[in-house]
Structure 1
C-alpha cells in the first residue's frame, strides 16, 4: 500500500510553544483514520501541518502526497492543497451565494475554465453527497447536516486523494453526525484516504477504523 502521509520524528510548534513531539506515523491509500484526543491535545495543529497551514520546522521526514513539508516553498502550497479536501467543523461556506455557486467559485478559483465541465463536476459531487436537489438553496436555508454535505462536496471537487475532516460532526446532532461519518467511510471505501479528528468516542466505536491518539504531546497508534 502506497503511503499518502509519512511523518518521522516530527515536532510541531505554534507561537514558540511545543504542541507535539516525536510524531511518527504513516497512512496508506484508501485508509480511514480517526485522530482523537482532548481539546488542546494537538489534533487540529497536526491536521494543519498536512496542508501547510502550520509549518514543520523540525523532523526527520514529513511527506504528504509526495510533497516534502520540511522543505516546502510558499509557491508549492497551492499545488499541495489542490490535492487535499478539507472539511471544517464550522462549514465556512460563502453566505451570499447558493450551494451550487459556492462549488462553482472553488472550481473557478482553482483554474477550471470550461463551463460545461464545471457544471458536470458540480453535479457529480452533489450526487455523491445526496444533495443534487438542494443546490439552489442558500446556506442559511440548509440544515447543519445539509451544509456539511455541501462542504464535503466542496472537498471532493478537485478529486483529492486525501480528505482531512476536523471535527466534522462537532456542530451536528448525533443522528446527523452519524450520517456524515457514514458518508466519509463510504468515500474511503471508494479509495480516498480520510483522516477525521473527533472527540466523539461513541462514534469511533460504532464506525470502527484505525485510531491515532494525541496524548501528552505525543501521537500513539
Structure 2
C-alpha cells in the first residue's frame, strides 16, 4: 500500500524551448544520416547548419536558460553518478527535476560530438563536387584530414545515439518516465518537490537568434 510519503504530483521540469531543442536535434541528426547516404549533400549541409545552430542555442540555454536546463543544475561528480546508478538499480522513485547525474554527462558528450561533427563538416569535401563553405580556409590536405574526422565522429555519434535510446528504455523499465517528460514537460515526482524556475520564451528566442546568426555569419561571411 502506498504511504503518504510516497504520493506524487505532476511537476513541470522541462520548458518548451528545451523540449523543442531535443526533438529538433533528433530530427536533424536523422536527416543528416539519411541525406549523406542518399548523396544529397545540399540537404546534408542544411542539416549540418541546423545542428550547429541547435547546439549553439543549447549552450547558451545551458548558461542563461531555465533552471532545469542549466549546466550548473545537472553536471555533478563521479560520486553523484554512482549514487544515481545504485538508486536506479534499486528501482527507487525518480526525484530529478533536471537531467540525472549520468544523463547530464551524456548530454555534454552528445553536444560536444554534434558540435565537432558540424564544425569539421564546414571544412569537408567529398573529392567529387561537394566542398564545405570553409574549405578555402583549410586547403585540400587539411580538408581531407577534417573529412576523415568528420566520418569518424559520425560513427561515434551514431553509437552514442543508439546507447542513449537504449538507456532511455532501460530507465523506462525502472519506472523513470523520461520520454513522457520530454514530450509533455512534466514528471510525477514526490509531493513537495520544488519545480525548477522557467526562463520564458523571449530569452529562448534571443538565444536562438544569436545561434542562427552566428552560423549564418560563419557560413556566408568568413570566406
State the TM-score, normalized to the length of structure 1. Answer: 0.25
Higher fraction of helix: 2
Higher fraction of strand: 1
State the TM-score, normalized to the length of structure 2. Answer: 0.25
Whichever of the two has the greater Rg, that structure is: 2
Q: Which structure would you say has the larger RCO, counting Cα contacts within 8 Å and 6 or more residues apart?
A: 2
